Amino acid sequence: MMSTPLLMHIEHLSRHYGELKAVNAVNFELNRGEVLGFLGPNGAGKSTTMQMITGNLAPTAGKITINGLDLLDQPKLAKAEIGYLPEQPPLYIELSVEEYLNFCAKINGINRAAQSAAVNKAIERCGLGEVKSRLISNLSKGYQQRTGIAQAIIHTPAIVILDEPTVGLDPIQIREIRKLIRELGKEHSVILSTHILPEVQMTCDRVQIINKGQLVFSDSIDNLNQSMQATSLIVQFENNPDDAILSAIDNVDKIEHLEDRRIRIHFNSAPAQQSPAKQIAIEAVNNNWGLLELNPEQKTLEQIFVEITSSESVTEKAEQHTTEDAA
């Protein structure tokens, strides 16, 4: 079982509430050592999917395989391979951090002789050493989230699932939790469910987007970043340029005149192609156009996200953007 890199296989996963298809025929895989970002607008089906793959909600249809174990046929063994932090951490705030984690070690079936070591390791990995004797009720939101993550990893599961782990945290706490997630990815596979776009860019290897219950995008962060490369330049000149000269510059595809005498120059951003910015500056000097502005215009992750999730045809987007092998 440990020889295969595939830890999770989701096939045609669906959850229907009458006519409402909260999740509809979702397919994806998760490999060992991978941090997968699961993105989607509110109500898209993220939390429903998380609840099904953790065994907390029965699917209407579909198959969930966790580290070679069918979740429906062998639920106890399959769930033992998962660590789960829901959006609201399941904390007993009247206990100290150490007391709570000892309790978590017991309910996860960790051998009595190994419980102390498991608790100490979780405390160390989650940076809880300074607060381990304090009541959870007296901890900051950031330390409470760390405690929630500690309970999710205490039994060393193959897969850690985190549902909106940085909601309600301040910027410093968010940075610390993101660092922790990246470190978890070295030993576990991680699914990070979120609607915070920078979270995915900073912590994940691959991103999936769900919208209206369907998976509409699946690709690596590297490929996603590539699609965000500049494909146009915004330029402005003191004097009116000659459009024919601009159009003749290598790799210029189209010229678009905007307001305020600005011009958008479209070009091919393929790796083998060179940006025309340098040649535009040279022509501006040679022809005395008086270059006032020359800025690359990049697509943001937010723009890509909005384009995908606002599509009228989810099925069409799914076919266009979801790779055949989600791994």
Characterize the bridge pairing of strands 61-66 and 69-70: antiparallel
Q: Residue 245 belongs to a domain with what CATH number?
A: 3.30.70
DSSP 299: P
Instruction: State whether 265 and 215 are in the same domain.
Output: no
Inside any domain, residue 1: no
Q: pLDDT digit string (tens) for 131-154?
A: 999 999 999 999 999 999 999 999
Residue with tokens 């051998």: 111
Instruction: State whether 35 and 109 are in the same domain.
Output: yes
Inside any domain, residue 234: yes
Q: Is this prediction's pTM over 0.85?
A: no
Q: pLDDT digit string (tens) for 27-38?
A: 999 998 899 999
Q: The tokens of 151 are what? A: 């309970």
Instruction: State whether 260 and 124 are in the same domain.
Output: no
Give the per-residue pLDDT at 4.
Answer: 57
Give the per-residue pLDDT at 311.
Answer: 58
Instruction: State whether 113 and 34 are in the same domain.
Output: yes
Inside any domain, residue 69: yes
Number of domains present in the structure of the chain:
2
Q: Which amino acid is at 327?
A: A
Inside any domain, residue 326: no
Instruction: State whether 173 and 195 are in the same domain.
Output: yes
Question: One digit per residue, pLDDT tens: the chain, 327 residues?
Answer: 444 588 999 999 999 999 999 999 999 999 988 999 998 888 889 889 999 999 999 999 999 999 999 999 999 999 999 999 988 889 999 999 999 999 999 999 999 999 999 999 999 989 999 999 999 999 999 999 999 999 999 999 999 999 888 888 888 888 888 888 888 888 889 999 887 777 888 889 999 999 999 998 888 888 777 766 778 899 999 999 999 999 999 999 999 999 889 999 999 877 767 889 999 999 999 999 999 999 988 777 777 778 777 754 444 444 444 444 444
Instruction: State whether 131 and 74 are in the same domain.
Output: yes
Instruction: State whether 255 and 123 are in the same domain.
Output: no
Instruction: State whether 79 and 166 are in the same domain.
Output: yes
Instruction: State whether 215 and 254 are in the same domain.
Output: no
Q: pLDDT digit string (tens) for 228-264?
A: 677 889 999 999 999 999 999 999 999 999 988 999 9
Inside any domain, residue 186: yes
User: How many angstroms separate the CA atoms of 185 and 221, rounded?
Assistant: 15
Give the per-residue pLDDT at 255.
Answer: 94
Torsion of CA 152, 125, 158, 154, to 10 degrees: -40
Inside any domain, residue 46: yes
Helix (H, G, I), strand (E, B) or coil at 174: helix
Instruction: State whether 200 and 216 are in the same domain.
Output: yes
Residue ranges making up the domain that contains 43: 6-220+304-321
User: How many angstroms separate the CA atoms of 105 and 85, rounded?
Assistant: 15
Instruction: State whether 184 and 53 are in the same domain.
Output: yes
Instruction: State whether 97 and 168 are in the same domain.
Output: yes
Inside any domain, residue 327: no
Inside any domain, residue 241: yes
